[in-house]
Amino acid sequence: MIFLLRLLSWSNKLRQPGSARKLGSVVLFGCLLSSSSGAAFAQSVTVSGNPAFTGGPTAAQLNNMIYIDGVVYACSSAGVNSAYAALPSSGGTVDARGCQGAQTLSASLTFTSSTKPVTLLFGDATWTASSGVTVTVGGIGNKLIGAGRGRTNFNFANATADGFVFSGTNAELRGFTINMTSTGTGRALHIIAAESSGIYDIEAENAASATGHGVFLDPGTNSCERLRMDEIYSHNNAGNGFYLNATQNNKSCAIVTIGTVEANNNMLAGF
């Protein structure tokens, strides 16, 4: 029997010798109990005193943090989207660092809420997206944070769609590699109207066409102001490493760059 427990509050938490954990007072609710026959039911449980947990309970959700490791929420686009949907209306954190190695994104990920901010955490994994899949981070306060360039990787086989689309206010991208694996016109990172936001420790590579830029700054109908970029590496892109859409000449893109911004081909255009 597997117990999936959400621990809401406890006091007098003690670690005793051995593998058992002693808790002074524990409130457990939303417990999912499943048997070997596959039957499952939800139940509220209140435990007081000093219960000992000697097995291996798995917590899929703790307050406003939801964990994805393939047990309750699958290591997939459906699992990530379901975990986000299960967060409270005030937002929270979706932690997918338990998904490691080769993973698949079969549907787009879109996090653009202005009222339900989420921080998405990714670990040592390579997420390979189906054709046409895009990851969009925008809205207010939404963040996607990986384990670092070369450790968290997103591979996009896009004919025309961009890999990542980034916009919003107080938003953030950090710590991963964007790899365009097809011969299409998709840009690795498309930045639209970002304000007071940051992009850090990102590699954008292998966009294949002359318009498939590594980093495409596109103010659109709004300006991008106070955008900070640090440790951005744009490599092996057939277009430009960094391209500012000059057709939006009535708009501005004020970039504060701290640290290193690097491209090994066609460094800048449109600025």
Give per-residue burial for 139-160: e unless 16+ CB within 10 Å, then b.
Answer: bbbbbbbbbbbebbbbbbbbee
- Computed over every residue of the chain, the mean pLDDT equals 78
Of 16-20, 122-126, 206-210, 211-215, which gets the smallest average pLDDT? 16-20
Residue in 264, 253, 204 with CA at minimum distance from that of residue 228? 253
Residue 75: per-residue pLDDT:
97
pLDDT digits (tens, 9 = 90+) for 49-96: 776 666 665 667 778 899 999 989 999 999 999 999 999 999 999 999
* First-last CA distance in the chain: 61
Residue-wise DSSP of 228-248: EEEEEEEES-SS-SEEE-TT-
CA dihedral of residues 144, 150, 152, 153 (deg, nearest 10): 90
Residue 38: per-residue pLDDT:
42
Residue 182: per-residue pLDDT:
76
What's the CA gap between 178 and 202, in Å, rounded?
8
Q: The pTM is what?
A: 0.76
Beta strands, E only, 90-223: 92-96, 101-105, 109-111, 118-122, 125-129, 135-137, 143-145, 152-156, 164-169, 172-180, 189-195, 198-205, 215-217
**Mean pLDDT, range 33-45, rounded to an integer:** 45
Confidence tier at 257 by pLDDT (50, 70, 90): low
Look-up of token digits 């102001």:
225
In the structure encoding, which two tokens stand for residue 130, read together? 């189906």
pLDDT digits (tens, 9 = 90+) for 208-242: 877 788 998 887 666 677 888 889 999 888 888 88
What's the CA gap between 161 and 188, in Å, rounded?
9
Phi, psi dihedral angles at 56 (to 5 degrees): -145, 65
Residue 19 pLDDT > 60 = no
Q: Which amino acid is at 255?
A: I
Task: Give bridge partners of residue 247 from the DSSP assignment.
Answer: none
In the structure encoding, which two tokens stand for residue 27, read together? 């409130």
Q: Helix (H, G, I), strand (E, B), or coil: what is residue 124?
A: coil
Residue 185 pLDDT > 60 = yes
